[in-house]
Amino acid sequence: MPLEIRQLPKMRLAYMRHTGPYGPALGQLWERFGQWCAEHRLSEPRPRFYGLSLDDPACTPPEQCRYDACVQVGVGLRTGPDAQVQDFAGGDYLCQRFHGTGAEIGAAWAALGAPGQLPEGWEFDARPAVEVYDEDFAVDPKTGAFACWLYAAVRKHA
């Protein structure tokens, strides 16, 4: 599937954070976050979820990598001790559809950031990378495969 530049809007996000290596622990984070969303009535109708990778594992020690499991919320939500709220700035992103397993998503991220992926006049930006999980998100129980969108932050050359 071809890469394209898309915009993500500014959003207010409720989130839970994982600090440590990206990998299997993120599945556990998403399970806890999904339960929290259900308890706070944020799961119906089924929302779009966002995964924010705040650190590049290629240059950040694994134990310092941060990842936020997020859902868009309105003002006035009381989160309690388990979740926080943040304002997401939005902006331009290089986007690609991913289909595979959790073990394969790291290679997909690396390919998205490889040289030659950006259209002329664009450069990567230091804002968080974003995984977008559409409302119909599901994991195949036999293979563990799922689909999402990968968004790498970009900006036009100055």
The H or E element that residue 24 is part of is: helix 24-39
- Domain of residue 115, residue span: 4-156
| Predicted pLDDT of residue 114 | 87
State if pTM tops 0.95: no
The contacts found for 78-86 with CB under 8 angstroms, 24 or more apart, are 79/14, 79/40, 82/16, 82/32, 82/36, 83/14, 83/15, 83/16, 83/33, 83/36, 84/14, 84/15, 84/16, 84/17, 85/12, 85/13, 85/14, 85/15, 86/12, 86/13, 86/15
Question: What residues have CB less than 8 Å from 156, skipping those under 6 apart?
Answer: 92, 121, 122, 123
Q: Report pLDDT for 157.
A: 87
Question: How many domains, the chain?
Answer: 1
pLDDT value, residue 76: 77
Q: What is the pLDDT of residue 144?
A: 92
Confidence of residue 1 (pLDDT cuts 50, 70, 90): low
Contact between residue 17 and residue 68 where contact means Cβ atoms under 8 Å apart: yes
Q: Supply the CATH number for residue 132's domain.
A: 3.20.80.10
Q: What is the pLDDT of residues 105-142, one digit of tens each?
A: 999 999 998 888 898 899 999 999 999 999 999 999 99
Give the tens place of pLDDT for each residue, 63-109. Answer: 999 999 999 998 877 777 889 999 999 999 999 999 999 999 999 99
For residue 31, what pLDDT is reported? 94
Can you say whether residue 25 is alpha, beta or left, with left for phi > 0 and alpha for psi between -120 and 50 degrees? alpha
